[in-house]
Amino acid sequence: ETVMTQSPATLSVSPGERATLSCRASQSVRSNLAWYQQKPGQAPRLLIYAASTRATGIPARFSGSGSGTEYTLTISSLQSEDFAVYSCQQYYDWPRTFGQGSKLEIK
Amino acid sequence: EVQLLESGGGLVQPGGSLRLSCAASGFSFSIYSMTWLRQAPGKGLEWVSAITDSGGKTSYAGSVKGRFTISRDNSKNTLFLQMDSLRAEDTAVYYCAKTQGYFDFWGQGTLVTVSS
């Protein structure tokens, strides 16, 4: 099983600033990596797939990068609606696995 | 507009059974794999089970293998999860998701609580 590890667990950032979240896989997932945003009481929403492709309707301030075992989600200028939990997921092998999530909170 | 609507959750005693349903609309259901995922209270997301477009191949997480059964009815655009021998640790919100490896659309979830 591919273990996904996210860091930091919590990130405190001021609106308008940049946020960078990391996701590390225990083995290469060959860019088969997705990012999701989840707000309290809501279902997750797909942000990024194939490590760097934005899903339909996702603002350009969200970007993904990385390869192999190391991936990054960057939010260039935080808006109030961006404060949420972000999770990465690999779909290179079975079972599909998620990171434990990173909470982005207002500083 | 893609819509996924789960139903069938509720309170069940340990050892009991539940059958979850996921009604899909707004896309060609029969040509997509589908997945069940869950999220225990205050915890992260967990992949539970997946089924191919035709239903010919299924996959399960080790934690549910032998107890849960995924199926689909493409004539009714509906996905199912039969959950037997339920345990306290199965307590979670269960989501169905349209699948392309990643999960591009999710339902709103249905809560399953296993408790005596």
Please tell me if residue A95 touches chain B, with a CB cutoff of 8 Å: yes
Percent of the residues in chain B that have a pLDDT greater than 70, as a whole number = 100
How high does pLDDT run on average in chain B?
98
C-alpha B54/C-alpha A6 separation (Å) is 35
Exposure string (b/e) for A62-94, b if CB count within 10 Å is 16 or more? bbbebeebebbbebeebeeebbbbbbbbbbbee
Question: In a 3-state reduction of DSSP, which class is residue A82?
Answer: helix
Instruction: Report the candidate in B48, B100, B68 with the shortest Cα–Cα distance to residue A91.
Output: B100
CB contact under 8 A, A36 and B103: yes
Average pLDDT for B57-61: 98
Q: Please tell me the predicted confidence (pLDDT) of residue B87.
A: 98
What pLDDT, on a 0 to 100 scale, did the predictor assign at position A1?
Answer: 96
User: Which of the 8 DSSP states describes residue B26?
Assistant: S
Give tens-digit pLDDT for B9-39.
999 999 999 999 999 999 999 999 999 999 9
* Identity of the residue numbered B79: L
Residues of chain B neighbouring A99 (CB-CB closer than 8 A): 44
Q: What is the pLDDT of residue A49?
A: 98
pLDDT (0 to 100) of residue B29: 98
The reported pLDDT for the residue numbered B49 is: 98
Substitution target in A96, A97, A100 with the highest count of B β-carbons within 10 Å is A96
Say how far apart CA A98 and CA A36 lie, in whole Å. Answer: 10
The reported pLDDT for the residue numbered B12 is: 98
Query: How many Å separate Cα B27 from the centre of its chain?
Result: 18
Cis status, amide bond into A59, omega within 30 of 0: no
